[in-house]
Amino acid sequence: MRAGEAQLAVAELWQAFRSSGDAALRERLAACYLEFARMMAGKLYAGRTFTGLEFDDYLQFARLGLLEAIDRYDHALGAKFETYAALRINGAILSGIRSYSEVHEQIAARKQIAATRVAALSQAAPDGRDPDALFGHLAELAIGLAVGFALEGQGMYRDGETEYPDNSYARAELRQLRERIVALVQTLPARQRRVIAGHYLQGQPFEEIAAALQLSKGRVAQLHKEGLASLRVQLRSGAVREWAF
């Protein structure tokens, strides 16, 4: 198809799409401009500084921007579609990169915090030659992490409630447990309360809490362990049978 015929075909597509808003026509229009979107994705990919995404990811973001541009374009304003779409496509790519980067950084931070937490709770592990002592230590470690998980759902990395698709009763019980643990945190000694609340409810790493309290990181880790142990004792005394703390 010659250039003039191609332009006429695209113009007819635009007219038909504006009249009907048909999704199939929208996809056909997107196919007409896909090479333009690919070119823009290629330019940003060539100058990338963040290496966590492949070119296909850039192209997918560009295509989303292209579809948005098709939906919002008003030919009556006189701007050429490519001129209008360029801003939308560029913005969609940059927004996609930023969102992916933020999630990637949050996951990395969460892994680091979890590793620090496990290390703090694992201090003074018993000699492996005593199976009973080792088993008891591992049980205490698991219980401490479980209490931490319940607290974490109240604030840190808030992403909604843990899902129980077919069991709303279990979801309600978990919410009640979390609420109870948060209330129990307020009964802890001042420094333990500051460490537990800061770490789980405010998302602060041990280093930041240590600086604020002017304590060593090791002392903060000890307060963290003591605080979780105190919460565990209080939960047991309250006979929380369902969660076996």
Domain range list for the chain: 3-104, 122-237
Tally of CB atoms within 10 A around 140: 16
- pTM for the model: 0.47
Residue pLDDT, tens place only, 62-95? 999 999 999 999 888 888 999 999 999 999 999 9
CATH number assigned to the domain covering 122-237: 1.10.10.10
Query: Would you state the pLDDT for residue 68?
Result: 93
Range 97-108 burial, b when 16+ CB lie within 10 A, else e: beeeeeeeeeee
In CATH, the number for domain 3-104 is 1.10.1740.10
Please give the pLDDT value at position 29. Answer: 93
Block means of pLDDT (10 residues each) for the chain, 245 residues, are: 64 91 92 94 90 90 94 87 93 89 70 66 58 57 64 48 52 75 87 87 82 90 85 70 44
